[in-house]
Amino acid sequence: MNTIFQAKCYFLAVIFLLISFSNVFAQQNDTKPCRYKKEIFAFGPKLSVNVANECHKRAYKTKFTPGADLGLFFRFSPGRLYIQPEINYHIRNTKDVIIGMEEPYIKYETHHLDIPVLIGIKVIDFKFLKLRFFAGPEFNMRFKGYMDDYFHQLGIIAGLGVDVWRFTVDASYSFLGYIYPHRTLYNRSNVFKVGIGFKCF
């Protein structure tokens, strides 16, 4: 947990540093602000690290354990507003602490198809630097893992992102409830992700 908190602090420090550089860049280019060809469409690969917390009413609780995502993103941005659907291969590692059992925990790995649709706004929009906020629906389907059960989840994802040249960095939080085979919010997943991608044109 200390490593995760340190990573969050480093990430926030980088964001503040980039915002400071953007202010300097804006002052140097005050005579001709933002006169460049707008980025209307971009796509590319994306790699993320995730930590997930599974909540299953009062049966058991989980510990945060790192996992990984690998996928593609597609961004449509005619202006400051943009829409970004993604398709990701999502690997989630989980440690379940079962209440009343002698074993300290059960550790397992699950594999998912994750499809978020992000709707965002660029609050800073320079040629080589952008700061974005986004939110949207997210669909998650588990197809391999513990007991090989199939589960579908639907929820909300929100976060912020920074673009530097063609590199893009996102930090997001997802709240996912189960919709198949049992529709309930008592059993849910909380997922935090930090990912880096590369925009291809």
- pLDDT digit string (tens) for 6-23? 555 555 555 555 445 544
Cα distance between the two ends of the chain: 38
pLDDT number for residue 182: 66
Query: Contact 175/188 with Cβ under 8 angstroms?
Result: yes
pLDDT number for residue 114: 96
pLDDT in tens, 114-161: 999 999 999 999 989 999 999 999 999 988 876 656 788 999 999 999
CATH code, residues 40-198? 2.40.160.20
Identify residue 87 by its one-letter amino acid code.
Answer: I
Q: Tokens 């790192």, residue?
A: 66
Q: Nearest-5° angle of CA 161, CA 3, CA 45?
A: 35
pTM for this entry: 0.75
Count of C-beta atoms within a 10 Å radius of residue 1? 8
Query: Contact 116/86 with Cβ under 8 angstroms?
Result: yes
pLDDT in tens, 87-113: 999 999 877 776 666 566 777 888 999
Closest CA to 95 of 84, 104, 85: 104
Q: Give the span between the Cα atoms of 161 and 130, in whole angstroms.
A: 8
